Structure 1
Amino acid sequence: MNFFSTTESRLYFSNQKSKMQSEINSLYDNEIVNCNFEEWKEYLYSKYSVAPITLFEESTEKSFREKTIKKYNSFHRFNRHEPEYYNIAGYCITFKIYYNGNPDLFKLRPSSFILDRFSSIEFQSPFNDKCGYFTLERDYTKEELLNDKSESSPEMVQNQFENYFKNYREMIKNVNKEAEIFNSSLKDQAEQMLTKRKEKASTFALLSQKLEIPINLSTNAPNITPIPLVKISRTPPKKPITKHNSMEYLIKDIDYKNINKIITMSGTTMEKTARTYYLNNEEELRDHLLATLNTHYENATGETFRKIGKTDILIEFENKAAFIGECKIWHGITQFNEAIQQLCNYSTWRDGKVSLVVFNKKNKNFQGILKVVKDWIDSSTKSYSMVLPNVWQCKFYRSDMQVEIDLNIAVFDLYVDESQFKDIRKNNN
């Protein structure tokens, strides 16, 4: 991979600003009028700021291998019958350098740059809790490594690498400086954009006041209370230490609650625009939830094999425990019971926190469905709390494994009276 040459940094940061502008412009009038600017500034900063590159040079790993080295034959200039290059036995030392930050910065050409070629043999972006890394190689002949000069081979190799790597550090310093300048003004730019968008919505607010109808949106609307993206703190790999903690496999309550909150907010949004989603099948509805989850968790996957069968939503934490979620369309209490059993079949003893998401598409009596689900919860769970009128957090006893698990049940209404409008999608099908 070639570094610092793909995109002009000026264009990259301008594009980041344009993306933020587009998101703000896409807000509805009622959303911008009611939104909390401070919360939105934090949200937009967490989403569009560019994390500078941090090098962990003290954790650099070296590897050593034999290699055939191609050397230029200086006699070729005087005698064209001489080969231009000749091969000799040598060695290659690979330097694996760990880093954290936005990997896009390695592609940018900053306004201040060094005229040189920068490249990496292998490049890996940060992922989950793991740092990214890139590798550089230096070739040596046998004579260079085994010379009898005063400087020892390890010192020579390190000193030569330091001299070679200093230009990389300088270029990283330059792109970091531009990222920090961009980040420092991001919140002010966000506030200016939000203010201009709110001014455009003044007609909506004026009509609301004139008609004496208050603008009263649900506190669950995702655009009113945005969830800041979690910034992952990464450190380079260290030698693992054996732990003896019998509860280490359980995912944290804060993660479980946050996942369910994201699902609830996404489902609430789908209810508000039910005409968009009422024709979707289970898999398509699941994909809408996954699209939202993937903006918060890097490893949210759908239809992932788990124990037996396949589960709709799976989010693994540290390759230990997992969040298991199942999406179903309401077809009655019998199928609801089967969905609960399906969740149990997909989960293992490590998966103590699961969720069931139910969508109503055909039944106009949504309150009747909520009552049936509530009756099941009363009779089948050990205890529960009602998070919202359509969301319950339950303690459910798995008799097959004799364990108590957390079960979140959320029911969303996507019923649409098709006689009231014409949907062209049906004609296209």
Structure 2
Amino acid sequence: MHKTYDSRSEFFEDRIRQMAQEIARLSKSEVLNINEDEYIDYLENKFSLTPIKVYRDMEEIREPRKIQREMQCDPYTAAMYGYRQNSRVVYEGYEIKVSYPFEGDAVLFFVRPNTFTIGGASAKQIHVDESTGRLILTYECWDNDSEQFNRDKVNAFNNEIGPLLTINPEVERFNSNLRSRASAEFQKRKNQCLSENAFFRAINVSPNDVPYKVPVPTVKKKQVPHPGVKRQEYKPYPSMDDRMYVDILQTLYRAGQAMERKPSTYINKDEEALRDLFIFRLEDRYDSATVTGETFNFGGKTDICLKDSATNANLFIAECKIWHGPKAFGEAIDQLFDRYLTVRDSKVTLMFFVAGNEFNSVLETIKQEAPKHKYFASYKGKREQSSFSYMFHLPTDLEQKVFLEIMAFHFPKA
């Protein structure tokens, strides 16, 4: 369980204090013999923080649980409903849990924001489940008013979670200064040890400072999300964990961004060659999943397909296209949904490679044309500058929803 901090300054100061305490635990021989650069690397890795991000568009509402509360009947209610004055009345309602996947260091959720909203809708409880990577808000609903519940849910998120996320710029500043702070703290400890040795020599006492190699501790690497295939008794077909889906999208987007900065990676390459570069970034990333290209599925070959290693079931499908305008954009969605997807496929991506110089115009076209498509269900928001999240439905089933991420990358010919 994480400690709760009343202020951000208290939290960051405590982080530095913990680092200083770790340095203080080193013996004098360790301080004088350890590889200083490697040890500073270790401290920086251990005490740096990953900003938190909550994926509001991937909200999950669990089945409501019936609850009751007993209250003394007030005079107004007694007069309206014919109850006896001061009698006890039992009210029935629902407890509803709403969860969102998140990433980053969960400890940041326990730091009180500098400013926050007082009053308005609020959740009864906020729980951070680090084992599943989900933020869970619990509400009580007593009037069965769905519109009011949805308004309260939106307001509670804005009032309670929104302020927590404003810590991220301060986290970035903390990380940028951490190495210099670590170096200063270590140098302070080292100077103390050197001063002590000088004193011992001055009084003709031999200090125990024979050089020897001291191993530098290691920091456990932050885990890449496990495929996390959900196998529930009522849903035997594997489906992708939300955290893994987010990780795949981020991996593809960062790969595209990196390629944009290095023209040699995309100049004179066709769709297939560009696709292989993205496959390369996904291969070996997930222990229990395999990535293939040009894979048969339903009525055609998908460009990128991620499969569960144990069952060979599809987890994720991506299509790569050179941008050829609005008409071809719609046809690409048609091809994906009409030819490649089955009722088992629920998380897919379309990646467009834009060769011309009107990249911002292309992004506007995507935002305008996607909602016009016959399979469009809803817009879930912009994940990145050129990555847009949608919910579509299958051609054969209006109720069968599919997460569709549409990405665009600028790969000019010259």
TM-score normalised by length of structure 2: 0.44
